[in-house]
Structure 1
Amino acid sequence: MDFPVTRSFVCSYGPGKLLKRSEKPSTELERLNLLITPLIRNGQSVHQIYLTHANEMTCSEKTLYNYIDASLFDVRNIDLPRKVKYRPRYKKPEFKIDRGCRIGRNYEDFKKYREGHPDTQIVEMDSVLGNKGGKVLLTVHFVNTSLMLAFLRDANTSQSVIDSLDAIYRLLGRECFENLFPVILTDNGSEFSNPRLMEYGPSGKDILRTRIFYCDPSSPYQKGSIEVNHELIRRVLPKGTSFDNLTQPDIFKMMNHINSYKRNKLNGRSPYEMFRFCYGEGILQKLGCLPIASENIVLKPRLLKHST
């Protein structure tokens, strides 16, 4: 199926994967990735690389292993000379880029911010998982209109979330992005543990583009709107379905059907219609959104049967 009006987004986002990193490193993680990945692929150990390039390292050797465990580099544990031979003795805790990410951003802080800014529109953000270790979705839900966007990611990493937000920012421009994303509420998943780069962009020190807040642990009801909308995704992609053969145009197609589905809470209107009324159709087209006639809406796995 052709998506002519989504071409601007697909060109910047890339079919089925995120934007490729620039050859010139723009973050410290990218610089480390460019340094160690070729050497590991040549059969060198992390220890050997660390000893040889100690003066170029800004973290410990253990942190490098943590980055590889968290899939933040282009190499994986299976690429390491010895580590793959050993069975883990215990289940490792979730790896968080910034363990202090919730300071000043917890749910109490969110409520206080809303008290001072009652008219601020809220965006909820989450992940929908396919098979373990495979592709995942980043979901973005505009609470005031019930419109939800979804972006396919190759792995459930912090960097892939940052790349997704950066792609949307470049596509919409600063003014439009800040208008649509003043506040993002998300959960405590490790993929959301680098708020600085989500809030400020690739350099982490530019002008604030959004504010990140976190729900309390084990409290998905605090972002209940997006959780309810996930049920519609699961009608098309039931739990246990692999996302590995899906592409971003497939995800656009699914979300177009979901966003055209009329809701009682919107007085019989669809999220697409509500968003168009509030923000205009031009933004919808940039984001890859198209209306689907009511009689043509399909919320069954057969909608993407060729890809799953």
Structure 2
Amino acid sequence: MIVNSPFVCNGCDRLDIGIGHDACRYIKFKYHAKRAQLLYEDTLKNSRTGISYSPSELADIDNLVSPLLLNGQSISTVFYNHANELPCCERTLYNLVNGCYLTARNIDLPRKVKFKTRYKHGNGRNHDIFTFDRTYADFKSFIAENPDVPICEMDTVIGTNEKGSVLLTLMLRNCHLMIALLLPNKSQASVINALNDLCDQVGIDVFKKIFGVIITDRGTEFSNPLALECDRYGEIKTKVYYCDSYCSWQKGMIEKNHEFIRYVIPKGTSFSGLTQADITLMMNHINNYPRASLNNCTPFALAEMLVDKKLLETLHYHKIMPDSVILKPSLLKK
């Protein structure tokens, strides 16, 4: 037996002095580098296969995590709210779901999807008369001169088509609170009436304080800026600016938050059977969903500190506990 390094026959000194392996009475060992590497990789793979939790521990994790994931919450949100109760890290939760060790599956995760290639538009049209002195460049100049003015992003969400009921959405940048108002159709009159109704309910002074400036797209429903800026009596209640054509990223906050609406009301679903009470219920759940961008705080919690409470009371927005938040179509099933 080779007792000195390298402990294999490959490096035996007897081979150099002409003594063959057949004359050697020791047990022979020969090192094969490629085979050793394959054995090493196989051992490494096996050592990392499976999970390090007992059936009871895994059942406890499943009972805590899966119901929340099935309600539309994300793994990061669940982990943040229950970090002290979980015996694992956030990355391990993803692995448990991906490995089908929990009741919840990848298909239940809101963002575990493939994204389609972004459509590239042309240069767009820059001749809209109603955007004169109200372009995105004008908006940036205005904000530079008035850095303390509150900014609101505005958009619409359609159901099956633009002729039916639509949602008018308003997003407050300072706290990420999103407001949704059910409109009978996607028209200028519906949008103007909805804003005027909200202004009448909270008072023009409160409206000015919350919706100091509004940035929106160039949709036909928003193409009457003078009517949008004034209340029913002709008094200025806000200032309206428009994004550049095909530049929805200029109001990216509200575009991003529309995905929460689609978790509850999938694209292509009609709004005809819904009431404003249904939309308010949905928005309460959306606004009480923690956001990583807010250091896992909720938009509603921030709104309580930054927004006049009269707005929250008028909209019937209230607090919902994290584990009670549901972001699935089942929320509106009657």
Return the TM-score normalized by structure 2.
Answer: 0.60
Matched, 1:144 2:174: yes
Matched, 1:126 2:192: no
How far is 1:102 from its partner? 0.3
CA distance in 2, matches of 1:302, 1:174: 37
How far is 1:128 from its partner? 0.3
Q: Which of residues 266, 278, 281 in structure 2 aligns to 1:238?
A: 266
Q: Which structure has the larger Rg over C-alpha atoms? A: 2
Cross-structure match for 1:100: 129
Cross-structure match for 2:138: 109
Cross-structure match for 2:286: 258
Cα RMSD of the aligned pairs, angstroms, is 1.4
Return the TM-score normalized by structure 1.
Answer: 0.65
CA distance in 2, matches of 1:146, 1:239: 22
CA distance in 2, matches of 1:230, 1:131: 16
Matched, 1:182 2:185: no
CA distance in 1, matches of 2:255, 2:187: 20
Matched, 1:154 2:223: no
How do 1:159-238 residues align onto structure 2 when only pairs under 5 Å count? Answer: 159-203=189-233, 206-238=234-266
How far is 1:103 from its partner? 0.6
How far is 1:100 from its partner? 2.1
CA distance in 2, matches of 1:283, 1:196: 23
CA distance in 2, matches of 1:280, 1:198: 21
* Larger CA deviation: 261-270 vs 159-168: 261-270
How far is 1:254 from its partner? 0.2
Cα offsets for 1:132-163 (capped at 9, x unmatched): 12110000000110000000011100000000
**DSSP 3-state at the match of 2:195:** helix
**DSSP 3-state at the match of 1:126:** strand
Cross-structure match for 2:303: 275
Cα offsets for 1:212-261 (capped at 9, x unmatched): 00000111000000011001000001110010000000000000000000
Q: Given residue 274 of structure 2, which amino acid in structure 1 is its aligned partner?
A: L
Cα offsets for 1:83-130 (capped at 9, x unmatched): xxxxxxxxxxxxxxxx52101111111011111111222100000000
**DSSP 3-state at the match of 1:151:** strand
**DSSP 3-state at the match of 1:162:** helix
How far is 1:280 from its partner? 4.6
Q: Given residue 172 of structure 1, which amino acid in structure 2 is its aligned partner?
A: V
CA distance in 2, matches of 1:266, 1:254: 20
How do 1:28-47 residues align onto structure 2 when only pairs under 5 Å count? Answer: none
CA distance in 1, matches of 2:182, 2:307: 24
Structure 1 stretches of 4+ moved >6 Å: none
CA distance in 2, matches of 1:155, 1:282: 27
CA distance in 1, matches of 2:153, 2:310: 22
CA distance in 1, matches of 2:244, 2:310: 36
Q: Which has the higher contact order (CA 8 A, sep 6+)?
A: 1
Matched, 1:294 2:322: yes
CA distance in 2, matches of 1:266, 1:302: 27
CA distance in 2, matches of 1:288, 1:102: 34
Q: Given residue 143 of structure 2, which amino acid in structure 1 is its aligned partner?
A: R
CA distance in 2, matches of 1:282, 1:207: 20
Q: How many residues align?
A: 207
Q: Given residue 178 of structure 2, which amino acid in structure 1 is its aligned partner?
A: M
CA distance in 2, matches of 1:165, 1:279: 17
Preserved CA contact (<8 Å) 2:131 2:241: yes
* Larger CA deviation: 280-289 vs 122-131: 280-289
How far is 1:265 from its partner? 1.5
**DSSP 3-state at the match of 1:101:** helix
